[in-house]
Chain A
Amino acid sequence: AQTVTQSQPEMSVQEAETVTLSCTYDTSESNYYLFWYKQPPSRQMILVIRQEAYKQQNATENRFSVNFQKAAKSFSLKISDSQLGDTAMYFCAFMKHRAAGNKLTFGGGTRVLVKP
């Protein structure tokens, strides 16, 4: 079974600064997908960024980028130029690459607080 670990329960950052969230995972699969989801206080989960394990290039989405280290099974998220609207819970998630069924396995989450 896959496990996803987020070792930082909470992080705070000043507006316009950069913050990096850590995520490690354990799997015997060679092909898989990794995700970062954001869950603001309203509780609607929103996809932030996605990475396919077979791609060596790190994914980026505007101010969000990842550092994917497959050998180390590490998948960190960097939020640049932090904005007040980035305040939320952030979840790292894993999905196997298989023909049917694409369950997301989530980590425990990191609460990010952006301070003005």
Chain B
Amino acid sequence: EAGVAQSPRYKIIEKRQSVAFWCNPISGHATLYWYQQILGQGPKLLIQFQNNGVVDDSQLPKDRFSAERLKGVDSTLKIQPAKLEDSAVYLCASSLFSRTKETQYFGPGTRLLVL
């Protein structure tokens, strides 16, 4: 079974530029999560999708971050414009269905450096 795929693996941008990350969850997983992991800290949830609907985006900085999950499969997370403090690893995770508390499976992450 293929795992959660993410691209790109690394990205370096200047502040005020835009960047987008892509995630392909495990086939059949209805729930998709985006986490931000700042160096030296644990991951923090940015947004959770159930199919193509948003379940929780309370910690997403909506003035600069946006995310979508068209057709309930792949997802894209965008930052526009980026700030220095956005430097982090962005982790995508997926699970079968939220109500059953299934295990979340994580992708390898995208490491973003904002200069």
Enumerate chain A residues within 8 angstroms of B93, measured Cβ to Cβ: 45
Instruction: Specify which chain B residues have a CB less than 8 angstroms from the CB of A116 in the assembled complex.
Output: none
For A107, the closest partner residue in chain B by CB is B42
The reply to whether A95 and B50 form a contact with Cβ atoms under 8 Å apart is no
Among the 9-residue stretches B18-26, B67-75, B78-86, B94-102, the one with 4 or more Cβ atoms under 8 Å from chain A is B94-102
CA–CA, A108 to B38, complex, Å? 10
- Whether B98 and A102, one on each chain, are in contact in the complex, defined by CB atoms closer than 8 angstroms, is yes
Q: With CB as the reference atom, state the residue of chain A lying closest to B91.
A: A45
Dominant secondary structure of chain B at its interface with chain A = strand
- 8 A Cβ contacts from B81-115 to A: 89, 91, 93, 95, 98-99, 101, 103-109, 111
B42 pairs with A106, CB closer than 8 A: yes
Q: Can you report 16 A-B residue pairs in the complex whose CB atoms are below 8 A from each other? A: A4-B42, A33-B101, A44-B3, A44-B108, A45-B43, A45-B91, A47-B105, A50-B103, A97-B101, A101-B48, A101-B55, A102-B95, A102-B101, A105-B45, A108-B41, A109-B40
- A43, A99, A104: the one within 8 Å of B104 (CB): A104
State in angstroms the CA–CA spacing of A44 and B111 once bound together: 12
Q: How many A-B residue pairs have CB under 8 A?
A: 61
Chain A interface size, as a band, is: 20 to 34
**Shortest Cβ gap from A20 to chain B (Å):** 19
Q: Which residues of B contact A108 (CB under 8 A)?
A: 40-42
Chain A residues with CB under 8 Å of B55's CB are: 100-101
Which chain B positions have C-beta within 8 A of A50? 103
B56 within 8 A of A: yes
Closest to A33 in B: B101
Q: Which residue of B lies closest to A46 (CB)?
A: B106
**B104 in contact with A44 (CB, 8 Å):** no
Interface check B44, CB cutoff 8 A:
yes
Contact with B along A82-109 (1 / 0, CB 8 A): 0000000001010101011111111111
Contacts of A43 in B (CB 8 A): 89, 108-109, 111
Q: Nearest-CB distance from A31 to chain B (Å)? A: 10
Q: Is there a chain B Cβ closer than 8 Å to A56's Cβ?
A: no
User: Does B99 contact A104, Cβ atoms closer than 8 Å?
Assistant: no
**Which of B3, B35, B104 has most chain A Cβ within 10 Å?**
B104
